[in-house]
Structure 1
Amino acid sequence: MKLSFSGLRALVTGAGKGIGRDTVKALHASGAKVVAVTRTNADLVSLAKECPGIEPVCVDLGDWEATEKALGGIGPVDLLVNNAAIVIAQPFLEATKEAFDRSFHVNVRSVLQVSQMVAKGMIDRGVAGSIVNVSSIVAYVTFPGLANYCSTKGAMTMLTKAMAMELGPHKIRVNSVNPTVVLTDMGKKVTEDAAEFAKKLKERHPLRKFAEVEDVVNSILFLLSDSSASTSGSGILVDAGYLAS
């Protein structure tokens, strides 16, 4: 997708690997100044070598106080991608308080916190902005053993809509992308480790495929860009038709 973000400053969370990393690279290649946020410093070091000039920020977004300290003075941001997330696989009857709290702190609460900081800056500057939350099809349909994760993504759906409604008058758009299994390095490993389940799951997709990282990144870029100027409070399904079947 040929889009230009020249002159704009973007912040991407969960920037160290997978979707977040490729989003940083795409935005950087498209002319944006990018703040890359992740909790693993080694990932930031290697990313900075690939994308000279990015602004690396190492912080655990599950820690409210540390996040406030790291990003409270981040400066003007025009584009925000809330991608950071964790998956703690536990059957519902075995779900623990610690796993539930950690999942919501990283996957949902950090979206609220970071988006508040960025949106307040946009409003103070009087500029339009775009926020994209990276969700999942499990916001709409659950998979076994992922009660915590599915719950966080369901919550993100309503948070996205609430943000869109309240920030719309300030010309700030908020949307989500909702992919199926994505073939990141981690996604490939999971599908290899559970090959039989992955085979059956893929067959339930009308297109008989999982999503490539590029598919998700292209949807993120579209929602960040002026090409989606009248789109807010919506979610793009990158699911190979799964929810239509």
Structure 2
Amino acid sequence: MKSKINAILTVLLVTFFAPKIVAQDHTNSWFRTTLSIPITEKIKTDIELQHRRQNDFESNNLFDKNLMYTFRTWIYYKQNKDVIYGISPFAYFSNYKSIQKEGDADAKPINEYRFTASVELQHELATKFYVVDRTAIEYRAFEGSIENTTRLRNKLAFRYDFNPKYNLAIGDEILINSTGTDAQHIFDHNRLFTNFCYKVSNKVKFDIGYIYISRLTKNNTDLMEENNFYLNFTYILNKNPHS
């Protein structure tokens, strides 16, 4: 089983993502910790802390400079195993400027408050093989003179569950600004990703992955391309072992 997993990961990275990694020079590292609290069999709440870092100008160190700090809460309602509704009643983001030229690292962060609603659907295409679709709408309120925006996002992914402990997913997510922007900036960014999940126990799991992003910033009409490597840690509090 381990050799099978390693082979799949190698093929994905070498044949699909490696050329993009070599071709681009803006690299970020994302870290997220989630405390998940089941309330009932159908309802749970998550508390997320996130920190992202980025390489400095003319540097290849993906841990060089701050990129983002985040605190976010989620409430999820699981209608059944294939339908999950989510709402994030409060999220705080401290966003640092993406470093593209010398001096960008000295810019002060922009604070943002975000409110989100989502629905996630999954369908089993074959044994252990699923297609997952997540659609969300989020309202972004910024401090200062930046205009508030409403953003739509849709993520489509394919996931294979090797066993209850391991799964592998690959997919794409597109984010579109529906209000608070001009016609040239309706497209926000696109995320092409792969994710490997390992469930250590019924309380602990890790997600590790890579996201290739094509982004259109507010003050630019040229796409900025990023490599993002991430590690997510989730701890499930008081999980019912029979759920």
> Normalization by structure 1: what TM-score?
0.32
Higher share of residues assigned helix: 1
Q: Which structure has more RCO (C-alpha within 8 Å, separation ≥ 6)? A: 1
Of structures 1 and 2, the larger Rg is shown by 2
